[in-house]
Amino acid sequence: MVGIRSAKSCQTDFQNSRAITVRATPDRRGPAGGATCSDPTRGLYGGHVPRRESPAMYRVRPYRPFALALLVGALACTIRVIQPAPAATPGGGGGGPKPDSAKKDLPWKPFAEVTKDARVQTGLFTVYLKRESAYLALKPEQLDHDYLMVTELSQGIGELGIDGGSDVRSDLIRFHRAGDHVELWVVNPYATATPNTPMARTVAYSFGQSVAQSFPIASIRDTTNEVLVDLAPFFVSDWADLGAFFQFLSQQTPMQGPGPMFDKERSSFTSLHMFPTNAEAESRLTFRTARSFGLDMVPDYRWIPVGVHYSILELPATPMRPRYADDRVGYFVSAMKNFSRDTAESFFVRYVNRWRLEKKDPSAAVSDPVKPITYYLDRTIPFEWRPYVRDGILEWNRAFEEAGIRNAIQVLDAPDDSLWSAEDARYSTVRWMANNAFTYAIGPSDVDPRTGEILNADILIAASWIQAWQGEYRDYAGPQAMIREVFLEDSLLRADPNGRRFQRLCSYGASMAPEGTLLRATLAASGAIAPGAPVPREYIGQALKELVMHEVGHTIGLRHNFRGTAAIPMEKLFDRAYTATHGTSASVMDYNPPAIALDRGKQGDYYSRTIGTYDRWAIRYGYAAVAGETPDAERAGLRGIAAQASEPDHLYGTDEDAGFAAYGLDPTVTRYDQTSDPLAWGKDRVTLVNRLFDSLETRLVAAGDGYPKLRRGFRDLLFERWYATLVTTKYLAGAFTSRDHRGDPNGRPPFSAVSAARQREALAFIADAGLGENLYRFRPELLNKLAPERWWHWGVNPFREGRIDFPLHDWALAFQGTLVQLLMDPQVLSRVRDAELRAESRNQTVTIPDILTTLTASVWAEAGVQGSQRARNTTSIRRDLQRLYLARLLRMVVTPDPGTPEDARTVARATLASLSGALGRALVPANELDGYTQAHYADSRQRIEQALNAQVVQPLGPTPAPR
């Protein structure tokens, strides 16, 4: 096979002794009319992680520290964005100095000698394969020319977010001649200017490029001046920066010593494919370690195998006409600073990320596209689920047809061809993934930074989703693990102030297993399924279709919309005729739990059957034909579409709006909630869960089954009840937000305060349903059946929670303590004070005294703090909560957290004084308290007195600025 030149493309396969063989193959172009696209989930960091997102996968552009993959878990959904390059450095273009072929002292051998007996591939580049070398021949015009390089995992370990198909990084690269070397530059992506202007020179002087690798020149062809360099050392390196991730992992464990390190001797370059517009290479890397990290799926912990795939793509020769983004419509954007816009309001230019969909008949109101978006269903998708995946993809054609483009999306089965690969950057694919932890899906895409054009997109779905929808999958080490997942996205957003790493994070699967348990228990309770029976396939198919619609939404440019459910009235949620056209949310870009009716006779669709009204409107903004031949000329028409943001069906709020505490201003923008009235929904959900506890055994455990299923179900229902109260904390000093612009029809102000009545209703609900006296009183028969898994082998540990019996005290304190700490968070209390300024009178908002008075009355109810009540005994679970709340009050007085308002400290002090008096009255002999309660009340009172008598130095005001 040596010397093949006539084939349009060749394939190299790794074989024994690191030899490389080559097969001539036909030119692999996409089917006529198909999209030329790249592989799925490139998102190791960046789910729904991370371009692409995961529970452990979050896409971060242009580079994401691999270490953070540990935090993000399954998730996924994001877009890979590489920004345009600034002009070449003055005087640095043209590929560097010209060789003098006549010189006798050249530092390289003749071209023919170096390439003798090499196997040749032609395509985007010409490559000569010889032993363990991969010589890349760079033509003069290919130097100082920008390419897109995408790095992903071709094979993972099924844990920690290291999964095959996951995205690692995506970079704009450039090969640059520097003397006797060729440098691989990672191009500065953020600064631009109009070409051939003084400002372009200014940008070039001001911002440099990162030199990622320097290759010695192996030879230069005399006749063409092609420069020959060996890329194999680059492919067999830790370009993916996996070592940084492993070092981070080692710092999170109590073990001593370094983490796994790249082992070059056990790593190899395994394959290479060359095509007309892209090059595809693959390596098998090994990371060596002296200690075990508990990776169940690694055969020998000392050598961790990871496959890495590299795609180098040519950017479109004719750039697509870009379209300006608008903050009222939720698109991912390509953002750059154009320094030629020095008279504009901002240097920033933002283009929506979208596919190039051009009408065949531009004059027609509705037309087929010149080239549709094509998704390939990979052969990894189980046959029984393929129809639902296909339907979820094609559902978006409804939105595109309303935007004037018929049959915008087509779905094809992957060809039964050994040479076809989902990693090939020309194809957009949907793939199934097997992993050992986390439930997530990711929907990333590669984008032309010059215009925002989506070049390809891929979706990766974890096989564990099927189990999660039945409440069978997730296994937690304890309540804190569940709580961390809820607040994970908030934590990552705070760690990413410039939005480069986690804006595209998607962790849709994080809380889906408890939702699956709730659905399964409800179906059994209503007689829809037999006790212990699985959720019907019909419902799993509906859930899968909705998930695919969500991920496809990401791949066509859309961000999350966590306000989508707020467009659905409570009375319409279970109306099948209504949800058939509107869905259970105005947007499938929300995280939508199953819609479960409290009144079982009114049950409607559990999952959305179609995209929502917001989704259709957003597609119209990004894809409909708008008058104007330039982006600037389109602006008037686009503003007319965006001005419809105030319509009730177009509500929008995204990741940065959806958190808690400082990130939780709007109660209608939340993950995993439902309806326009989240408070009413939360009350129904708590009632539903409480009804299921007593009958849980008979609903989830069939005759002959073991009891671990009951333990998982009990744990999941505790979580569901807690989360239903958690979402209502955002009502306190909350406001309904708006992105409307001045002059929009029916425009709303940016903030509209939640009424005082609703705030107080929410506070009372939290006190009762989240902190109430009898919440964690369960029948002893139930608690005595909460058995763990009795298997003990890799992947299963009966001691994972530290004990074999169920640690109910730990779960109760974790969930209730989170509510207390959230309500007493310094930023929440600061927002409460500011809300008082926006209210016309004190009675129109909740105050800090209102919050602390309500909490004290609920948490310390047994101590008779209301005055008219007689003190009584308290349970051990209540004593834990009381101690935690007391500790928060004491800390607020003695050592307040940074940012705590001084008013909060003084009110806390007054609260402690009042509580001390109540405890003193409770300790009179007439109350006949048991020994536990007497000791607890006496200890608490003593701690209060010590704090009130402590010498605390508090600044009277802000520190004067230094002169």
Stretch (H or E) spanning 336: strand 333-338
Write the pLDDT tens digit of every residue in 10-50.
333 333 333 333 333 333 333 333 333 333 333 332 333 33
pLDDT-derived band at 164 (thresholds 50, 70, 90) equals: low
Tell me the pLDDT tens digit for each residue of 794-842: 777 777 777 889 999 999 999 999 999 999 999 999 999 999 998 877 6
* Strand-pair category, 181-186 with 80-81: unpaired
In this prediction, residue 12 carries a pLDDT of: 35
pLDDT band at 68 (very low <50, low <70, confident <90, very high): very low
Percent share of the chain, pLDDT over 70: 83
pLDDT tens column, 394-411: 999 999 999 999 999 999
What residue type is 115 in one-letter code? T
How large is the average pLDDT for residues 213-220?
96
State the pLDDT at residue 158: 65
pLDDT of 259 strictly over 80: no
Question: Cβ-count burial of 213 within 10 angstroms (0-12 exposed, 13-18 middle, 19+ buried)?
Answer: middle
167-178 vs 181-186, strand pairing mode:
antiparallel
CA distance 197 to 631: 21
Q: Specify which of 58-72, 201-215, 293-307 reaches the highest per-range mean pLDDT.
A: 201-215
pLDDT at 358: 96
User: CA–CA separation, 135 vs 232, rounded Å?
Assistant: 8
Is the alpha carbon torsion for 860, 866, 871, 872 positive or negative?
Answer: negative
Task: Tell which wins on pLDDT, 158 or 459.
Answer: 459
* The predicted structure's pLDDT at residue 306: 87
Q: Are 377 and 414 in contact (CB under 8 A)?
A: yes
pLDDT value at position 45?
Answer: 28
Q: How far is CA 98 from CA 102, 125, 216, in A?
A: 12, 20, 16
pLDDT tens for 646-681 read 999 999 999 989 999 888 899 999 999 999 999 999
Average pLDDT of the residues in 436-457: 85
> How many C-beta atoms lie closer than 10 Å to residue 722's C-beta?
26
CA-CA distances (angstroms) from residue 565 to 358, 468, 583, 651?
32, 22, 9, 9
Least confident interval from 211-220, 481-490, 611-620: 481-490
Tell me the mean pLDDT in the region 780-791: 92
pLDDT, mean over the chain: 85
The string over 936-961, giving b where at least 16 C-beta atoms fall within 10 Å of a residue's C-beta and e elsewhere, is: bbeebbebbeebeeeeeeeeeeeeee
DSSP state of 83: P
pLDDT confidence of residue 951: 61
Nearest to 733 by CA among 713, 751, 707: 751
Choice among 35-39, 175-179, 365-369, 919-923 with the minimum mean pLDDT:
35-39
When pLDDT is averaged across residues 858-884 and rounded to a whole number, the result is: 93
